[in-house]
């Protein structure tokens, strides 16, 4: 009977171990499935963030180009506007010269009329 009892105990232990192993395996599979789904969701979120990053990088590149164009336009405008005082002085000199010549013409006409 000792052998029978020992054999029954071993069989029970084996079956109990098998039941516990099957239960733990099914739980592990469920957890694996949950973690797998979470991982896929995280990977989708990462892909979305990467796509947004790429779009933002393209937008930044476009804005940099636009900024460069605007800086160039401003530089040209400043260069042109820096010439304004010089041109105004030239115009003023021209007006003064014109007035002087007009006075000279008037003097010469008066002289001619006297002759």
Tens of pLDDT, residues 43-63: 999 999 999 999 999 999 999
Cβ neighbours, 10 Å, residue 35: 10
Look up tokens 């000792």; give the residue.
Answer: 2
Task: Establish how many alpha carbons lie within 13 A of residue 48's alpha carbon, considering only the half-sphere containing its beta carbon.
Answer: 6
- pLDDT tier, 1 (very low <50, low <70, confident <90, very high otherwise): low
- pLDDT tens readout for residues 4-18: 888 888 888 999 899
As given in the structure block, the two tokens for residue 11 are 């069989």
């Amino acid at each position: 009977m000792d052998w029978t009892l020992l054999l029954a105990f071993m069989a029970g232990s084996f079956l109990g171990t098998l039941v516990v192993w099957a239960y733990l395996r099914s739980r592990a599979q469920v957890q694996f499935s949950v973690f797998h789904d979470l991982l896929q969701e995280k990977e989708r979120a990462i892909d979305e963030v990467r796509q947004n990053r790429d779009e933002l990088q393209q937008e930044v590149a476009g804005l940099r180009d636009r900024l460069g164009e605007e800086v160039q336009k401003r530089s040209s405008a400043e260069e042109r506007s820096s010439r304004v005082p010089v041109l105004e002085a030239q115009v003023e000199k021209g007006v003064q010269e014109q007035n002087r010549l007009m006075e000279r013409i008037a003097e010469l006409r008066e002289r001619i009329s006297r002759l």
